[in-house]
Amino acid sequence: MGATKTEHFTDKQNEIATLAKALGHPARIAIMEYLLKVDTCICGDIVNELPLAQPTVSQHLKELKSAGLIKGDIEGNTICYCIEQKALNKLQAYFGNIATKLEKKKSNCC
């Protein structure tokens, strides 16, 4: 096996899982944090920021992009990668909602 049975879950569940999965690696968290920190988007130096080889970083960027967490614009022979705000808003809303509901419940269990 090894293949996730996505068919059986709702679109929303799959969407959140995809976003979470893409962030489920410290290198990709580090990339997001770097993109958040940097003002200009001359993002060629992500490789220098990370302790990983260039192809590996490129692959992580690709995964973040295909999950919709970042977008990349070609600009000459450099590429400008940026955080896709919409995706982060979704995550914020999702976890905010859960946290709020948990607060209300105030666990009558465990």
Give residues in contact with DNA (CB under 7 A).
1-5, 21, 24-25, 27, 43-45, 47, 52-56, 58-63, 72, 76-79
| Total residues binding a copy of itself (CB under 8 A) | 54
Q: How many CA atoms lie within 13 A of 82 on its CB side?
A: 11
85 pairs with which residues across the strands?
A: none
The whole-angstrom separation of Cα 78 and Cα 108 is: 55
The whole-angstrom separation of Cα 95 and Cα 3 is: 26
Partner interacting with residue 87 (select from DNA, a copy of itself, none; CB below 5-8 Å by kind): none
Tokens at residue 22, please? 């893409």
x/- site string to a copy of itself, residues 19 to 38, per CB under 8 A?
A: -xxxxxxxxxxx-xx--x--
CB 69 within 8 A of CB 62: no
Q: Please report, as ranges, the residues that interact with a copy of itself according to CB under 8 A.
A: 4-6, 8-10, 13-14, 16-18, 20-30, 32-33, 36, 39-41, 50-52, 71-73, 80, 82-83, 85, 88-89, 91-92, 95-96, 98-99, 101-103, 105, 107-110
